[in-house]
Structure formats: structure tokens, C-alpha cells
Structure 1
Amino acid sequence: MTDPWSEIAEGWAELWGGFAEPAQRAVAQATGIGPGTAVLDVGCGSGEFLAYAHRLGARAAGADPAPGMVALARKTAPHAEVRTGDAEHLPWPDDSFDVVTAFNAIQFAEDPEAAITELRRVGRQVAIAGWAERARNDFTVIEDALEGEPRPDGGHRDSLEDLMRAAGLEVTGHGIVEVVWHARDDDTLVRGVLLGGDADADADATTVLEAARPYKTDSGGYRLVNAFRYAIGR
């Protein structure tokens, strides 16, 4: 049976693969990734950060639990060592990496604290990043419209830092980065928002388009400004 992330891997790479790039660049700078740095990206998705780390001169490796994502990452970053594995069970020995990163991935772990403990096991420096609190994200308006009511908040800096401390890490840095999602037209917007969904497609598409109207550009596309928080620990 195909897992859900493998089923949507191609579409996710097309519509969301480069979305976290500003946060990835900020983390790379803050952790000192450069020539010779051994980097592991956990939940590497379609491999965009692996390719970026390689361009910086790092020795990149990636892990993702979805075989479909692993296959894409190997194409995107052919110089990287990409293995199938989840954040709580990484297939590398202790202290294998200088930096271990996880972008928009830890929240999918069954036990986020255990996942960060595992990141700490294989790496000497750990950086995690994900969506900031909902008030900072234009995407929240669309999510709430689809849900029919506001969803609980999340993504606060303190939650990232608390998870790190609980995993035995000393927090050495944190920040917030603007990440903008662009959709070139109505169809791209709807496909990106409803990716992998199996609800009433026509009704959901109408809801998405109505909710996103304030973010429509003069060219007919959409520009949604969001934010990622990141925290770094040793």
C-alpha cells in the first residue's frame, strides 16, 4: 500500500518544494554550513535543501519516511546520500553529522521530543524550523475557511526551544523568517491548497478561491506571506 506522502510527492515538489528556501538559507547561515560540513536533513522531502547544502560545499545526506520523496530527493540532489527513515529512527551511527536539520517535519513525528533526541544523537548541532504562529500566516485565512472555524495556534518559538531543552540541547539561537508562497493562477492555488485531499473538490475549490481573494495579484496569481520560526541547539 502506497503511503500518503509518496502518493502526492510529485505534486508537493512542484507546488511546495521551494517554499521553505528563505528559512533554509537562514538556518544554513546560522549553523555555519559550508565546505566540508557534514549535514543531515531529516524529513528531506524532495531534496531542495540537500541540493542547496551541496552548492555550499557541504557533504549532504537526507532521510525521509516516504519512498516517493526519497526517490525525488535522489534526483534533485544526486550527490547526497538519501535513505528511507523517520525522525525517531535514523539509520546512522552516533555523531555522524556536524549539523542536523528538520524543516517543517518534527510536527509529523509521533513523539516530537523523542525525534529531537534522535537528531541530537546523530548530530553535534541541531536546527529545527516550522510554521510560526498562525496570526503571522496569510495561509491561515484559507485553512480556517476550509475548516469552518479557527484552528488552534501553534509554531511558537517557545515550543521549539522547550522541545530542544527537553531533549537535552542547549538553545544557541533562534529566529523568524518570512516565507512567501506564490500561485500563478486559480488552478495552481487550488491544487496547492487541496493537495492530497479527497473531500468535495468543487465546494472546497470555491471556498479556497473566495478566501484567497485578498491575496490575488494584478497578474491573476496569488501571493501569500507567511513565516517560519527556527531554533538551533547544541
Structure 2
Amino acid sequence: MTRDLGDATRFLPGELVVGTDARIRFADRVEMIHPWDGRVFFSVEITAPRFGARLDRVTTFADGQALADFLACREDGEWVSLNRDLAVTAGRDELTWRIQTAGCRAEVTTIWPADLADQLREFLIGTGTVDTTSISEGGLWGRRAAQRAALGAKMSLPAWRTAVARTKISEGTTVLDLACGSGEFCALATEAGARATGIDASHEMIELARRTAPEAEFHVWPLGRLPWDDGTFDVVTAFNALFFAADPETAFAEAVRVSRDHVVVCDWHPEHPSDILTVGRAVLGSGGRRRAKMPEPQEELAIDIPQDHPDEDTMLRAFLSTGGYQRLIESEGEESVAEKIRIAAEPFRTADGGYRFANKYLMSIFRKNPRM
């Protein structure tokens, strides 16, 4: 599937290359086709003689459809990716590619083949579509991302602290957090000295995460196949995450594959009712999500996750900010949904007019090397 758009030279299968000496390589990421507008995302590698080593995946996701549309215009100008890691400046016969992340900056100039837009579009979307369940979920959670971060993001703090302690996250530990949301666990991990990476299907959540944990690395990426080699991370975590995947078992298997040692999976406790779920079922009905089928972990822990709100308005805004309520808001309107939440939450109102929801997580800790 290689299409070399520069001079004749050999490259690995599954890539599209622009130029030869200084070149840009696009990795094939057709699993990232966006469900609403057909956008396709890809990772990028820059190589040039003056670089001592290749810069591989320094930008992980650029919008392929938008880039192809920009190149098809054949006009001077600049295109910048959504996560702002990659910029392409079009000149008369050349393209200047700039990558800039927290860890590196690189710039190379290549030729501008006349058919680059068509080749890029064909390369990215020519092999068909895939299941995009978690990308769709990301869009729902992104609608009120800032509100969610302010009112509910730290609810899982007791579980995060337990994970840090149990897996001994410390100076130099490499950590990957799946469905990282607005990045608070990655911030906690970096405070402990770890090198943290987070992925989430919501662009808006990732933008917040980059501000929450500026020392960590974040990428827009759905649950499922992961773009890292086996054993890349010491610890991989998934806090209330795997049930968002189209295939929870594949998401778990990928977490195991890219981990070197620990995999931590945290979910609502199946044997202890959680008040937030009680309200959710009253308003939304029974959900269609399912847990991943996993082997027996080396350790299981029940963790209390209380959530308190000082008043009714704060409580309502916290519930309405979650992705699960967005489709109902679309169909019934926010006022109707808020009234249903208000009624369902009444048993959890406190004497001072606030609300307290008692919840419990089940944390499963897996170790690849349990004897170490």
C-alpha cells in the first residue's frame, strides 16, 4: 500500500511518503474515520538529514480530510491541525511542514506533487470504514467538557490515589491513561514523577487535559487498537473507561499488550449500588454498555467514591454535563431532563439543601509479572 510521492525509493508498507531527502511519512490510521463528517486522522513522522534521529509520532493525530481539502486548492496559505501540533504552509511548488510539541520542534520543506491531495485522500479513506462507537462517545462528552471538568472530574480521586500507591507510580514510571478525560489522573501521576500519556476520543477533553497536566502527553484516540509497541508503558490505567469501547475485550487486550507490568481497570462495583447510577437509570433507563470480560486479577479493591454538591443548581449542572445525558437533552430539551434528574435525586438531598451521592468502584489490578 506504499505510495511514494517523491523520487523512487523504498519505504515500509502501510504508509504514504512525500519527498525523499527531507520527507514526511503518514502512518495509515483508517480506524480513526470520524462518524459524523468523514474526517480521518493519521500520525506523522518527519525525517531530514540534519536530524540525528527520526521524529516519530511527534504529532499523533492530524485531520486528513481537512489537509487534503487544503492541498486541493493549490493556493498559497497555511493549514494547522486541530491539536495544533502540525502546520503545513503551501508555497508555489513547495510545502513546509512544521511539527511542534512540548518535547520537540521540527521543520522541513518538500516538493508539492500535483496529485498529493488525491493521493492523500485515497490513502486515508480508501480501505473502508470501521466501528466508531468510542469516537461518537467522545463527541458527546466534549459538548460540555469544561463544565464536566469543573464539577465532576475529580470524583474518582480516591481511586486515582489508590492506583498510584498500589502500582508504585513514582519518578520515571511510564503511564498511559485510557479515556483520560480532562487529564486529572495524568496530572497526579506527573506530580509523583511519572511520564504520563493520556488518550481520549474527545478533542475538547484533550484540550483541557493539556492545560491540566502540561508536563504530560495527550492524544485524541479512541479505545481499541493502540498506536504503541508492546510493553511501552509500565502502568496502563482505565478508570470507568472500557465500557465505552465498541469491543471492551479488545480494549482490555490492547491495554495489556502495551503495558510492561500493571494494568488497572476501575469500574462501577457490580455488587454495590451507586447513587449516581440509580439516578441515571431513573432518567435514562438501563444502559446498553457492558463490562469487559477479563481474567482473574491479582488484586481487587472496593473503593468508596462519594460525590457532594452544595446546592440543586450545582447538582443539576454536574449531571447535565456528562455525555450520557446529551442525546436525551437533544430529544427532550434541557429543562425536561433537568426536572427528571431533580426528581430522581430527591432521596439524596441533605438537610442543608445540598446533595450527597454514595458510590463504589471495583478496582481490578493485573500484573504481567506477578512474582516481581
Range into which the TM-score falls when normalised by the shorter chain: 0.7 to 0.9
**Worse overlay, 90-99 or 211-220:** 211-220
Q: Please name the residue that 2:236 is paired with.
A: 100
Q: Tell me if 1:36 matches 2:162.
A: no
Flag structure 2 segments of 5+ consecutive residues without an equivalent.
1-36, 38-137
Counterpart of 1:186 in structure 2 is: 312
What do residues 131-154 of structure 1 show as CA deviations (whole Å, max 9, x unaligned)? 11374211233223314x6x3799
Residues 130-209 of structure 1 mapped to structure 2, 5 A cutoff: 130-133=267-270, 135-147=272-284, 151=286, 163-165=293-295, 171-195=297-321, 196=326, 197-198=329-330, 199-209=332-342
| Matching of residue 215 in structure 1 with residue 351 in structure 2 | no
- Go from structure 1 to structure 2 and tell me whether the alpha carbon gap of 1:121 and 1:6 turns closer, same or farther (over 3 Å shift): same
Residues 153, 62 of structure 1: alpha-carbon distance in 2 compared, 3 angstrom cutoff: closer
CA distance in 2, matches of 1:72, 1:140: 26
Deviations 1:165-210 (A, max 9, x none): 2xxxx62111110001122211111122233333243333223222
> Are residue 10 (structure 1) and residue 136 (structure 2) matched?
no
Aligned residues between the structures: 223
Residue aligning to 1:230:
363
CA distance 1:135–1:171, change in 2 (3 Å)? closer
Q: Give the superposed CA RMSD.
A: 2.2
- Structure 2 CA distance for aligned equivalents of residues 80 and 164 of structure 1: 29
> What secondary structure sits across from 1:89 in the alignment?
coil
TM-score by length of 1: 0.86
Distance 1:81 1:153, change over 3 A: closer
Q: 1:83 to 1:142 in 2, by over 3 A?
A: same
Q: Secondary structure at the match of 2:358?
A: strand
Corresponding residue number in structure 2 for 1:21: 157
Normalized per residue, the structure richer in helix is 1
Is 1:65 the counterpart of 2:201? The answer is yes
Structure 1 portions without partners, runs of 5+: none
CA–CA separation in structure 2 for the residues paired with 1:15 and 1:134 = 27
Structure 2 Cα separation of the partners of residues 84 and 141 of structure 1: 31
